[in-house]
Amino acid sequence: MKWNIPIHNTNESFEEDFSGSPVGNIVAADIRKADVMKKYGIDFCCGGGEILSAACKTAGVSAETVNRELNQLQRPEVLASQNPWYWAPDFLCDYIVNTHHNYIRNNSRYILEYGSKVMRTHGTNHPELLELGEYVSALLSELHQHMTKEENILFPRIKQMFEAYRQPNEGLNAAISGMNINMPVEVMELEHKEAGDLLHRIRECTDDYIPPADVCLTYKVYYAKLQEFEEDLTMHIHLENNILFPKALDMQAKFLV
């Protein structure tokens, strides 16, 4: 995969101009830059294909300011072992399942329980909780189905493809030749977009996860858990859309040559 990140040289140092680079690629190359994107409300996971200048315009922020802050993170360099872009596809699959899929499975029940309790206690004074609960339930239901498809269909195909890529043999090559991941990847990316839309609605319903002044501790914990969930899911989708899927499609292209 080729990066489109032009470099502007000065007499003493250089500053990279990220304005024409897809925001997902910028974060994939250096995970620390995700914090800058988040700070300015730039969607680098579901909207990872948008170039920085356009993303800044959408978010209503200065591209020059964002570019300057991205450059402030240029050094020290991130070790390759800490940068998911350098991880092998099979390891990435396992990491996503063990870290992000398990996070969803381990936290879904608690989020629903908090939401149910808060609705019973505060639903009369805060009718927005009903709409919020519907969005949360829809998101969790969709994600559980989504993860099952990834773990049973797409990820095994990617692992098998990588094994054939790493250690070619006739049997694996024959199996890979009849395998195409274009459609599964497209479906997963579409479902990521739908999840991102639900996250946006949840953020709107919660006023950016700021609880009302008159609520109990459980209400505050509910909002905090939802915010934590969004942060984890954002990184989860980024790893798939901007790193794992491009790597897998690149491998597939080599088999089809």
Residues 63 and 98 in one domain: no
**Would you write out the chain's pLDDT as a tens digit for each of its 257 residues?**
433 433 333 334 457 899 999 998 888 888 778 889 988 999 887 888 899 999 999 999 999 999 999 988 765 554 556 788 889 999 999 999 999 999 999 999 999 999 999 999 999 999 999 999 999 999 999 999 999 999 999 999 999 888 888 876 666 666 666 678 999 999 999 999 999 999 999 999 999 999 999 888 889 999 999 999 999 999 999 999 999 999 999 988 877 65
Residues 126 and 242 in one domain: yes
Residues 108 and 217 in one domain: yes
Please give the C-alpha separations between residue 45 and each of 22, 25, 76, 189, 240, in angstroms, as whole numbers: 11, 10, 24, 10, 9
Q: Which domain holds residue 56?
A: 7-80
Note whether residue 176 is domain-resident. Answer: yes
8 Å CB contact between 137 and 198: no
Q: CB-based contacts of 50: which residues, under 8 Å, 6+ apart?
A: 22, 23, 43, 58
Determine the angle formed by the axes of helices 102-122 and 217-238, rounding to 10 degrees: 150
Name the token pair of 94.
Answer: 């396992």
Residues 112 and 211 in one domain: yes
Q: How far apart are the first and last CA of the chain?
A: 16
pTM over 0.85: no
Residues 171 and 236 in one domain: yes
Using CA atoms, how far apart are residues 29 and 3, in angstroms rounded to an integer?
9
Residues 246 and 182 in one domain: yes
Residues 107 and 233 in one domain: yes
Residues 105 and 166 in one domain: yes
Residues 72 and 99 in one domain: no
Please give the C-alpha separations between residue 9 and each of 25, 82, 180, 196, 257, in angstroms, as whole numbers: 21, 27, 42, 37, 38
Return the residue matching tokens 């920085």: 52
Residues 59 and 93 in one domain: no
Residues 69 and 93 in one domain: no
Note whether residue 2 is domain-resident. Answer: no
Note whether residue 1 is domain-resident. Answer: no
Q: Is the dihedral of CA 19, 48, 198, 129 positive or negative?
A: negative
How many domains are there within the chain? 2
Using CA atoms, how far apart are residues 166 and 127, in angstroms rounded to an integer?
56
